[in-house]
Structure 1
């Protein structure tokens, strides 16, 4: 992918009401859940994609062990199947 290519953008509002724009780097499924890997200029975050009444929304992952194990498994999968 060209580094100048525009990715899907999403705006996240935090608990303090501050909005921040992120690029969607990856969407993937793991252990019966869907996840979104999002990046901004200075931050990368992982969020779980939840479904409710045919609507999707993002939920933060507060458990650092869950987050780390998901990111580690994602890295292994990417290394095993690098993008062309």
Structure 2
């Protein structure tokens, strides 16, 4: 079963439309926390923001930032699978 032991989240877009995602990963990079979310038809990377004790998700609008973070995440995943992560 693919989603066994996974967390689920509902994201409400600015237009009020709700979409359900599986939390594939939460990770820290460059003093920021990111969430990799997956639905039936898309995978989304969002930044986790903290304000007044509340957490919320912010979309990454800059393609260079998104690609850079995804590349670094993929390198870390591959390194951890081969035991090269120090």
Give the match for residue 76 of structure 2.
77
Shift of the 4–13 alpha-carbon distance from structure 1 to 2, 3 Å rule, reads: closer
**Considering only aligned residues, what root-mean-square deviation do their CA atoms show, in Å?**
1.5
**Which ranges of structure 1 fall in alignment gaps of 5 or more residues?**
none
User: TM-score, structure 2 length as denominator?
Assistant: 0.88
SS of equivalent to 1:81 = helix
Give the match for residue 24 of structure 1.
23
> Is contact 2:46–2:59 with CA below 8 Å preserved after alignment?
yes
User: TM-score, structure 1 length as denominator?
Assistant: 0.90
Give the match for residue 52 of structure 1.
51
**Which ranges of structure 2 fall in alignment gaps of 5 or more residues?**
none
